Amino acid sequence: MLQSLADPVLPIFAVMMVGYILGRARVLGPTDARAINQFAFYLGVPAIIIWVVAKTPLDALDWTAVLLFLASQLTLYALVFAILHFGLKREVRESLLLGMSAVFVNHVFFVLPIAERLYGEVARAHMSGIVMFDAGLLFCGTVLLVERLGKSGQSSFQSLFKNPFIYAPFIGIALGLLGDAAPTGILTFAEFAARAAPPVLLFTLGIILAASPLFQTGLACWIVVLAKCALLPLVVFLALNFAGVGEPGKLITLLVAAGPAGAMPFVIAGQYGISTTTIAKVILITTILSVFSISGLTA
C-alpha cells in the first residue's frame, strides 16, 4: 500500500500542488485555469470517453457488481442533489455537480494503480465497466442536464450539437463494435489526447484551490464528503453482500467506492461558469480521507 502511494499516487497529485503553488505565487489565476480547462472539456475528456468505451471488454465484466455500483451512484446522486438544492437552497446546477461529486470516483488515476498491484489485469478488466458507465452515462448525462438548465434564449438543440459529449460515447461504441477492424489512427489519437487530460485537470484544480481559503468549507462541502467517503462505500457494500457478489469483483468494486471524488464535475463547472470552490475542496478532502479508507481495505 505504501508503495502504491509513493508511486504513482503521490507523484500524480504533486501536479495539483504545482498548480497550487503557482496560484499562490500569483503566476496564474482563475482566468488562466478556465482557459486551460477548455482543452479538457473539448478534447481531453471526450478522448477519455472514446478510449474507455472502445476498449471495455464487455464479455469479461462482472455485470452484477457493475450495475449495483451504478444503481448506488444514481441513488446517492439524487439524494445529495435534493438535500443541497431543496434543503440548503444551493443553485440548481451547482447542486447537480456536487451530487455528482458525491458519487463520481477518481478510479483511473487513484484506485486503479492500487487495485492492479493486488489483482493485476483482472482489476483493469473489472473497473473498465464502472469507468464506461461513469464516462458514458453519468458524466455525459450531467453535462446535458447542466447545458439544458443553463440555456434561456439560445436554442438548446443548437447548443447541444456543439457539445463534444454528445458524440464521444457513440464514437467509442462504434469503435468497440468494430474490434480489430477499428481504425488504429483514431484509437491512437484518442489515447494520446486522453493521457494529456489528467495532469491538465489536476493543474487547474490546484490553481482554483489557491484562489480560495482552504479551511473555509461549509455545510454543503461536508455533506458531499460524508456521502462520498461513508455513504457510497456503505451502500455498495450492502448491495454487493445482498447480491452475493464474490471475489475479486466485490473487493475491487469496494475499492472504487472508497476512492476520492474525481475531477470531472470540476471540468463541467469551469466550462459553464458555475462556482468551483466547493467542488475543488471536496476533491481535496476526499483525496486525503481516501488514503485511510483504501489502506484499511487493502490491509
What pLDDT was estimated at residue 153?
Answer: 44
What is the Cα–Cα distance from 277 to 168, expressed in whole angstroms?
Answer: 28
What is the Cα–Cα distance from 231 to 170, expressed in whole angstroms?
Answer: 32
pTM over 0.75? The answer is: yes
Query: At CA 257, angle to CA 74 and CA 241, rounded to 5?
Result: 85
Please say whether the beta carbons of 93 and 149 come within 8 A. yes
Cell of 130: 464502472
The total domain count for the chain is 1
Give the structural domain span for 258.
2-298
Please say whether the beta carbons of 285 and 217 come within 8 A. yes
Encode 222-258: b = buried (16+ Cβ within 10 Å), e = exposed: ebbbebbbebbbebbbebbeeeebeebbbbbbbbbbb
Q: What is the CATH number of the domain that holds 86?
A: 1.20.1530.20
What pLDDT was estimated at residue 9?
Answer: 63
pLDDT tens for the chain, residues 1 to 299: 566 566 656 777 788 899 999 999 999 998 999 899 899 899 998 998 898 889 888 887 889 999 999 999 999 999 999 999 999 999 999 999 999 999 999 887 778 777 877 787 788 778 888 988 998 889 889 988 998 887 654 445 566 677 888 888 889 989 998 988 999 999 999 999 998 988 898 899 889 888 888 778 899 999 999 999 999 999 999 999 999 998 888 989 999 999 999 888 988 998 888 998 899 899 989 988 887 787 777 76
| DSSP letters spanning the chain | -HHHIIIIIHHHHHHHHHHHHHHHTTSS-HHHHHHHHHHIIIIIHHHHHHHHHHH--GGG--HHHHHHHHHHHHHHHHHHHHIIIIIS---HHHHHHHHHHTT-B-IIIIIHHHHHHHHTHHHHHHHHHHHHHIIIIIIHHHHHHHHHHH-SSS-HHHHHHT-GGGTHHHHHHHHHHHGGGS-HHHHHHHHHHHHHHHHHHHHHHHHHHHTS-TT---HHHHHHHHIIIIIHHHHHHHHHHHHT--TTHHHHHHHHHTSPBPSHHHHHHHHTT---HHHHHHHHHHHHHHHHHHHHHH-
